[in-house]
Amino acid sequence: MRVLITRPRDDAERLVQALGPMGIEPLLEPLFRIDHTGGPKLDLDGVQALLVTSANGVRAFAARDGRRDLTVYAVGDASARAAAEVGFADVESASGDVEDLARLVRRRLDPAQGAIFHAAGTRMAGDLAGMVEEAGFTYRRAVLYEARAADEFSAATVQALKAGTVDGALFFSPRTAACFVDLVRKGGLAGACGRIIAFCLSPAVAGKANALTWREICVAAQPDQAALLAAVFSRRGGARGP
Q: Domain of 39: which CATH number?
A: 3.40.50.10090
67-94 confidence digits (pLDDT tens): 999 999 999 888 999 999 999 999 999 9
Q: What is the reported pLDDT for 222?
A: 87
Q: What is the reported pLDDT for 241?
A: 45
CA distances from 176 to 107, 173, 199, 201, 204 (A): 31, 5, 12, 11, 11
Whether this prediction's pTM lies above 0.85 is answered by no
Q: Which domain holds residue 88?
A: 34-147
Residues 26 and 127 in one domain: no
Alpha-carbon distance 232 to 97, whole Å? 21
Alpha-carbon distance 96 to 128, whole Å? 13
Residues 141 and 171 in one domain: no
Higher per-residue confidence, 179 vs 38: 179
Residues 69 and 118 in one domain: yes
Q: What is the reported pLDDT for 240?
A: 53
182-198 confidence digits (pLDDT tens): 999 999 999 999 999 99
Residues 47 and 65 in one domain: yes
State CA 46 to chain mean position distance.
Answer: 29
Residues 156 and 131 in one domain: no
Which of 116, 147, 178 is a domain's end point?
147
Mean pLDDT over all residues of the chain?
92
Instruction: Indicate if the pLDDT at residue 209 is higher than 60.
Output: yes
Rounded to an integer, the average pLDDT of 2-24 is: 87
Residues 114 and 45 in one domain: yes
Alpha-carbon distance 92 to 105, whole Å? 10
Local confidence band at 65 (pLDDT 50, 70, 90 cut-offs):
very high
Residues 131 and 231 in one domain: no
Which of 147, 177, 208 is a domain's end point?
147
**Residue 199 bridge partners (DSSP):** 170, 218
Which of 121, 147, 173 is a domain's end point?
147
Residues 38 and 26 in one domain: no
End-to-end CA distance of the chain: 14
DSSP string, 192-238: GGGG-EEEESSHHHHHHHTTS--SEEEE-SSSSHHHHHHHHHHTGGG
Residues 203 and 226 in one domain: yes
